Amino acid sequence: MLINLKNVGSRACSLHGFPGVDLKGRDGTVSAGRSKMAAPTVTLSAGQSTNFTLHYPPNNSGGSGVTFTSVVVTPPNETHSHTMSLGINVPADSNSAPTITVDPVGAGK
């Protein structure tokens, strides 16, 4: 899933690194892990956008899985978050490796 970030300020800004991503649902909160991709530095002019990819496994298990209804995104090196509605369902799994991960901001740009 691509999630867009837009510079709503009046000046250019630079982003470097991974966003904080917390998925929230009835059963609690899961923080996305980081992928192994290198983080580029992205400079955005006023009004310009970039994105990052949220990776999650589809629930093909036949079970009810875990449903997330919102996502809280914190851009790299920021303290202000933005909450968005979301509807994804992942398999209920107890693997120790994170199965929900994010790529760095701008990696696909």
Structure confidence at residue 91 (pLDDT):
87
Structure confidence at residue 94 (pLDDT):
56
Structure confidence at residue 43 (pLDDT):
96
Q: Which residues of the chain have pLDDT under 70?
A: 94-98, 108-109
**Is pTM beyond 0.85 here?**
yes
Structure confidence at residue 25 (pLDDT):
94
Cα 79 from chain centroid (whole Å): 15
Write the single-letter amino acid at 44.
L
Tokens 């310009």 belong to residue: 48
